């Protein structure tokens, strides 16, 4: 793998000189449909071949082994096709020919060398480099879930995924990206689940990347979208192998980049950024409540300061008169209009957040105390902002911290200032307008043909609602997300434990 | 990036949802006064009858659309009545949704201007509203459909909020129980073009719907049933809490009834402000559907590639008409004109077109070689 294919592109008018653009586009659409159908057919044929191989095989084996090594090798290679992490070595054991098959990363190469290789005079990959050991996830800790996380070594990361599943349909394609760095990038997917055409689409996108170096996962991430200015992440970056495997069995793809502990999962929708591993380790009712509170938090993270301005500056009559007078009294002490006051506090909040992230861990706690207590109090005492606004801005900050995905939380921050401006200009009407604009914007986003809002209130995807805004008990979650268009739509096996 | 799946088709249920969400708008707020004035305690009966009548019109449109699957009204009308008359009918057709946009825009901005802003210039509110509508209409149908399905959540919220006026309900206000003036009940039925606007969208949206287990007529029928039920119950509670006399006197009885609700011991006050805010997304949906119908209808009529081409064309027209209608008298004239045009189209033109379509189909079946 790794070699990119080159295509020649022509103008439509050159290929179809006598047709109108509309006709040509219709023909093109037909062709695209045919290609898509052929991909579905190919996927079905692969399933049939696999089933046929299994017919004569013993239980638990993918095919019937013969006495001929070449046939066995072909069958093994067919079964493990597109698994670039599987290594093959042919050798002679006495008079007989033999084949050594092992998975890179899952096999202890030292033992393999001592016990097998040395005896057989074989050569295996002997590259050695310093690497970080597998440790606890730093940004996605789960209270009850597994604690191992990805590190910077590609083979280790693939092995962490492989260790969690013995599925021969888990494919690992390794590509090389970066003209100079030639960074290994692994594309993982479950062959008999993933939507036909999706792997080709992503592979082509990866192969089309023309840069000289790939150092971070983000280098790849930005090439996987054509909405480059969209602040919302279009792939889910995770350092958790369990999350990656769960994604694969939903019918998604994973991209592991060498030298990066962040694994990319795609396609994704908004709900995926609102879920955490803990949702599946707590009771469904509790998990549903927590999930629902996250959506409320996301709303507050954008709109709370804007709503404050609406109420204070435009519609004080919407709150009880007593409170209204109290706020007016507080605001009388500050010289700025409500909007300027809010913008000032927003700027301070952003500075705090940035400072806490950049500082070493030991110092960040101290900086938090300085920010929250010292500056918070003195800002009020200096009459630069009123106490209620401090509470509003602090709540906004906390609401954005509730998001399980940091990149998603930062995207929410981007929209806070425009919401504030809308409220300062047109009050509640401005907020309503901005809310609608945001909904339209979110609806217009797509991740590989799927709506970015996923199943959220989509009446054609009612089955998916069971694991979206709420989390139903596991016995109800029998189907894979319909929106991902997987080949196998049901999760096999009975949830009562029978297979 | 290739879209791996066609997302521009909708299911019959989605079609029903789209039509239903287009029906309820802020347009009904000023008309409610006329309804209570004429039908008095039996406004609910008038609304129920109107629901039945307008569903019949929608049903005729579905039948007409089914005669020409995959085609919109602009494509088959010239074949039925000739090019000139066809163009004229198409013009009437696109005028109805355009008037819906204008009426909705005027009502919602007047509401905000009056109740929330102490007479802030309506022009500013109107420009921002129209730009927001355009932003949504510029998207493809799949995106618009998603927007509708999300914003429609505001409809049950609005109704739940409105239900708070049950607090002031008094059964005596609904007496007498038996009407003595049946003409009064029938008289406001045409005003219900403000209660049931936008179903003409069926003539453009039907080709975008794929056939499913449920028929289009049934899916749309369910939508009408739900909305009619909401209206019937809504008018009963409105009259029950306001009295006929007050309801027929104030300009927006619904807002007035909401103003008189007090929830002691709760945090929120001025409930009408929340209600007006919830009316915004509900009305917005109807405006977006209407604008899309106009643009898509024109796209098909003029055989263009993209509906977006026609969106900027109608913007100045909508804006200047909306600005011109700057007082209640002009607005009343506009409402009347919209009403006559919608009634004429639904109950004269559509049955006629359906008759011609059936006749043409009969002829084709008799002479298949022609």
pLDDT at A2: 43
pLDDT at B206: 93
Please name the member of B128, B150, B152 whose beta carbon is closest to the beta carbon of A456: B150
- Are A458 and B273 inside 8 Å of each other by CB? no
Angle at A26 between CA A23 and CA A31, to 5 degrees: 125
Best probe of the A interface among B112, B143, B151, by most A CBs < 10 A, is B143
Instruction: Please tell me if residue A487 touches chain B, with a CB cutoff of 8 Å.
Output: no
> How far, in whole angstroms, is CA A99 from its chain's centroid?
38
Write out A372-395 in H/E/C secondary structure.
Answer: HHHHHHHHHHCCCCCHHHHHHHHH
Instruction: Please tell me if residue A32 touches chain B, with a CB cutoff of 8 Å.
Output: yes
Write out chain A in H/E/C secondary structure.
Answer: CCCCCCCCCCCHHHHCCCCCHHHHHHHHHHHHHHHHHHHHHHHHHHHHHHHHHHHCCCCCCCCCCCCCHHHHHHHHHHHCCCECCEEEEEEEECCEEEEEEEECCCCCHHHHHHHHHHHHCCCCCCCCCCCCCCCECCCCCCCCCCCECCCCCHHHHHHHHHCCCCCCCEEEEEEEECCCCCEEEEEEEECCCCCCCHHHHHHHHHHCCCCCCCCCHHHHHHHHCCCCCCCCCCCEEECCHHHHHHHHHHCCEEEEECCCCCEEEECCCHHHHCCCHHHHCCCHHHHHHHHHHHHHHHHHHHHHHHHHHHHHHHCHHHCCHHHHHHHHHHHHCCCCCHHHHHHHHHHHHHHHHHHHHHCCHHHHHHHHHHHHHHHHHHHHHCCCCCHHHHHHHHHHHHHHHCCCCHHHHHHHHHHHHHHHHHHHHHHHHHHHHHHHHHHHHHHHCEECCEECCCCCCCHHHHHHHHECCCECCHHHCCECCHHHCCCCCECCCCCCCCC
Residues of chain A neighbouring B213 (CB-CB closer than 8 A): none
Q: Distance from A490 to chain B by nearest Cα, in Å?
A: 20
Reported ipTM: 0.92
- Are A457 and B112 inside 8 Å of each other by CB? no
Please name the member of B135, B153, B267 whose beta carbon is closest to the beta carbon of A320: B267
Give the CA count within 13 Å in the CB-facing half-sphere of A49. 10
CA distance B286 to A435: 17
Best probe of the B interface among A271, A318, A464, A469, by most B CBs < 10 A, is A318
Domains of chain B are 12-180+203-358 (1.20.1740.10)
pLDDT at B345: 95
If pLDDT is split at 50, 70 and 90, which confidence band does A76 have? confident
Q: Is the pLDDT of residue A175 over 60?
A: yes
If pLDDT is split at 50, 70 and 90, which confidence band does A386 have? confident
Residues of chain A neighbouring B14 (CB-CB closer than 8 A): 459-460
- Are B305 and A21 inside 8 Å of each other by CB? yes
pLDDT at A293: 94
Torsion of CA B209, B215, B221, B222, to 10 degrees: -90
- Are B153 and A449 inside 8 Å of each other by CB? no
Buried b (16+ CB within 10 A) or exposed e, A243-276: bbbbbbbbbbbbbbbbbbbbbbbbbbbbbbbbbb
Q: Is the pLDDT of residue A320 over 90?
A: no
In degrees rounded to 5, what are phi and psi of residue A283? -65, 145
- Are B4 and A225 inside 8 Å of each other by CB? no
Please name the member of A36, A428, A439 whose beta carbon is closest to the beta carbon of B150: A439
Instruction: Please tell me if residue A454 touches chain B, with a CB cutoff of 8 Å.
Output: no
Please name the member of B116, B124, B268 whose beta carbon is closest to the beta carbon of A428: B116
* Minimum mean pLDDT range among A85-89, A293-297, A440-444, B119-123: B119-123
Mean pLDDT confidence for B341-350: 95
* Cβ proximity of A115 and A205 under 8 Å: no
CA distance A443 to A438: 8
* Cβ proximity of B148 and B282 under 8 Å: no
pLDDT in tens, A256-288: 999 999 999 999 999 899 988 888 888 999 999
Percent of chain A with pLDDT over 90: 27
Best probe of the B interface among A253, A444, A458, A468, by most B CBs < 10 A, is A444
The chain B residue lying nearest A204, using CA atoms, is: B1
What Cα–Cα distance (Å) separates residue A464 from each residue in A271, A480, B6, B148, B160?
11, 8, 19, 19, 27
The A residues from 301 to 320 touching B (CB cutoff 8 Å) are 314-315, 317-320
Q: Is the pLDDT of residue A3 over 60?
A: no
Q: Distance from A282 to chain B by nearest Cα, in Å?
A: 29
* Minimum mean pLDDT range among A41-55, A250-264, A338-352, B250-264: A41-55
Torsion of CA B74, B77, B82, B87, to 10 degrees: -40
Q: Distance from B95 to chain A by nearest Cα, in Å?
A: 26
Q: What are the structure tokens assigned to A197, written together?
A: 């055409």
β-pairing, A446-447 with A450-451? antiparallel
pLDDT in tens, A197-236: 889 989 999 999 999 999 888 889 888 887 888 999 989 9
The 3-state DSSP class for residue B209 equals: strand
Size of interface A-B (CB pairs under 8 A): 112
* Minimum mean pLDDT range among A60-69, A195-204, A245-254, A367-376: A367-376
Per CB distance under 8 Å, which residues of B are interface residues toward A? Answer: 1-5, 7, 11, 13-14, 17, 112, 116-117, 124-125, 128-129, 132, 135-136, 139, 142-143, 146-147, 149-153, 267-270, 273-274, 277, 280-281, 284, 305
- Are A453 and B146 inside 8 Å of each other by CB? yes
* Beta partners for residue A171, in sequence order: A189
Buried b (16+ CB within 10 A) or exposed e, A188-207: bbbbbbbbbbbbebbbebbb
Mean pLDDT confidence for A39-44: 82
If you ran DSSP here, which 8-state letter would residue B191 be given? G
Q: What is the mean pLDDT of chain A?
A: 84
Contacts of B72 (CB under 8 A, 6+ apart): B203, B204, B206, B207, B296, B297, B300, B301
Please name which of A137, A462, A411 lies closest in space to residue A274, comparing C-alpha atoms.
Answer: A411
Percent of chain B with pLDDT over 90: 62
What is the pTM assigned to this prediction?
Answer: 0.87
pLDDT in tens, A412-460: 999 999 999 999 999 899 999 999 999 999 999 988 878 888 888 888 8
pLDDT at B315: 94
* Beta partners for residue A471, in sequence order: A467
């Amino acid at each position: 793998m790794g070699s990119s294919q080159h295509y020649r592109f022509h103008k439509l008018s050159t290929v179809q000189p006598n047709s109108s653009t509309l006709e040509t586009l219709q023909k093109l659409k037909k062709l695209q449909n045919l290609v898509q159908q052929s991909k579905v057919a190919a996927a079905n044929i692969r399933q049939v071949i696999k089933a046929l191989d299994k017919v004569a095989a013993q239980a638990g084996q993918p095919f019937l082994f013969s006495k001929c090594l070449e046939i066995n090798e072909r069958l093994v290679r067919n079964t493990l096709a597109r698994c670039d992490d599987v290594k093959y070595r042919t050798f002679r054991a006495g008079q007989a020919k033999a084949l050594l098959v092992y998975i890179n990363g899952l096999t202890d190469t030292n033992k393999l060398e001592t016990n097998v290789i040395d005896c057989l005079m074989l050569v295996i990959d002997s590259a050695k480099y310093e690497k970080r050991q597998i440790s606890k996830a730093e940004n996605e800790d789960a209270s009850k879930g597994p604690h191992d996380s990805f590190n910077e070594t590609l083979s280790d990361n693939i092995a962490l995924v492989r260790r969690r599943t013995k599925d021969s349909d888990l494919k690992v394609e390794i590509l090389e990206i970066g003209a100079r760095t030639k960074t290994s990038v692994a594309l993982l997917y479950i062959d008999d689940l993933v939507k036909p055409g999706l792997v080709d689409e992503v592979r082509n996108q990866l192969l089309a990347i023309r840069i000289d170096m790939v150092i971070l996962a983000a280098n790849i991430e930005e090439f996987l979208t054509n909405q480059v200015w969209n602040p919302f992440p279009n792939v889910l970056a995770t350092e958790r192998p369990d999350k990656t495997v769960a994604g694969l069995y939903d019918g998604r793809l994973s991209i592991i980049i060498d030298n990066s502990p962040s694994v990319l999962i795609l396609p994704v929708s908004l709900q995926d950024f609102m879920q955490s591993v803990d949702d599946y380790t707590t009771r469904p009712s509790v998990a549903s409540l927590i999930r629902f509170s996250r959506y409320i938090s996301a709303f507050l993270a954008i709109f709370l300061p804007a709503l404050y301005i609406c109420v204070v500056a435009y519609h004080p009559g919407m709150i009880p008169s007593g409170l209204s007078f109290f706020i007016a009294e507080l605001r009388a002490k500050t010289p700025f209009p409500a909007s300027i006051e809010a913008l000032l506090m927003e700027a301070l909040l952003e500075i705090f957040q940035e400072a806490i992230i950049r500082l070493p861990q030991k110092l960040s706690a101290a900086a938090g105390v300085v920010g929250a207590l010292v500056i918070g109090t003195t800002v009020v005492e200096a009459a630069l902002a009123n106490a209620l606004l401090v509470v509003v801005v602090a709540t906004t900050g906390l609401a954005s911290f509730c998001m399980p995905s940091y990149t998603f939380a930062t995207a929410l921050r981007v929209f806070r200032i425009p919401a504030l401006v809308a409220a300062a200009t047109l009050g509640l009407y401005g907020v309503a307008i901005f809310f609608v604009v945001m909904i339209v914007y979110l609806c217009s986003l797509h991740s590989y043909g799927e709506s970015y809002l996923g199943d959220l209130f989509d009446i054609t995807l009612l089955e998916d609602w069971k694991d979206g805004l709420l989390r139903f008990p596991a016995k109800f979650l029998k189907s894979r997300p319909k929106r991902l268009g997987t080949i196998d739509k049901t999760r096999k096996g009975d949830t009562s434990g029978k297979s | 990036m290739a879209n791996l799946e066609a997302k521009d088709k909708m299911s019959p249920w989605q079609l029903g949802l789209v039509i239903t969400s287009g029906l309820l708008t802020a347009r009904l707020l000023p008309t409610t006064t006329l309804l209570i004035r004429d039908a008095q305690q039996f406004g609910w009966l008038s609304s129920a009858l109107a629901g039945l009548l307008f569903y019949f019109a929608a049903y005729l449109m579905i039948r007409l659309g089914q005669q020409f699957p995959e085609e919109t009204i602009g494509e088959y009308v010239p074949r039925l009545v000739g090019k000139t008359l066809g163009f004229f009918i198409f013009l009437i057709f696109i005028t109805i949704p355009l008037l819906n946009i204008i009426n909705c825009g005027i009502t919602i901005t007047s509401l905000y201007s009056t109740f929330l802003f102490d007479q802030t210039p309506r022009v500013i509110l109107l420009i921002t509203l129209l730009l927001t509508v355009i932003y949504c209409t510029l998207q493809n149908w799949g995106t618009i459909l998603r927007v509708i399905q999300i914003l429609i959540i505001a409809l049950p919220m609005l109704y739940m909020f409105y239900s708070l006026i049950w607090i002031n309900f008094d059964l005596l206000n609904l007496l007498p129980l038996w009407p003595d003036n049946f003409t009064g009940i029938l008289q406001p039925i045409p005003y219900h073009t403000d209660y049931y606007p936008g179903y003409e969208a069926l003539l453009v949206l039907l080709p975008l719907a794929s056939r499913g287990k449920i028929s289009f007529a049934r899916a749309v029928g369910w939508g009408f049933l739900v909305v009619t039920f909401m209206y019937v119950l809504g008018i009963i509670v409105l009259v029950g809490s306001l009295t006929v006399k007050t309801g027929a006197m104030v300009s927006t009885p619904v807002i007035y009834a909401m103003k008189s609700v007090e929830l002691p011991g709760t945090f929120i006050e001025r409930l009408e402000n929340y209600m007006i805010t919830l009316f915004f997304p509900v009305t917005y949906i109807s405006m977006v559907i209407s604008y899309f119908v106009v643009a898509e209808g024109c796209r098909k009529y003029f055989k263009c590639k993209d509906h977006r081409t026609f969106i900027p064309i109608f913007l100045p027209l909508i804006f200047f008409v909306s600005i011109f209608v700057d007082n209640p008298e002009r607005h009343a004239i506009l409402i009347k004109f919209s009403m006559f045009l919608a009634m004429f189209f639904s109950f004269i033109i559509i049955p006629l077109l359906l008759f011609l379509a059936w006749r043409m189909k009969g002829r084709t079946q008799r002479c298949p070689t022609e």
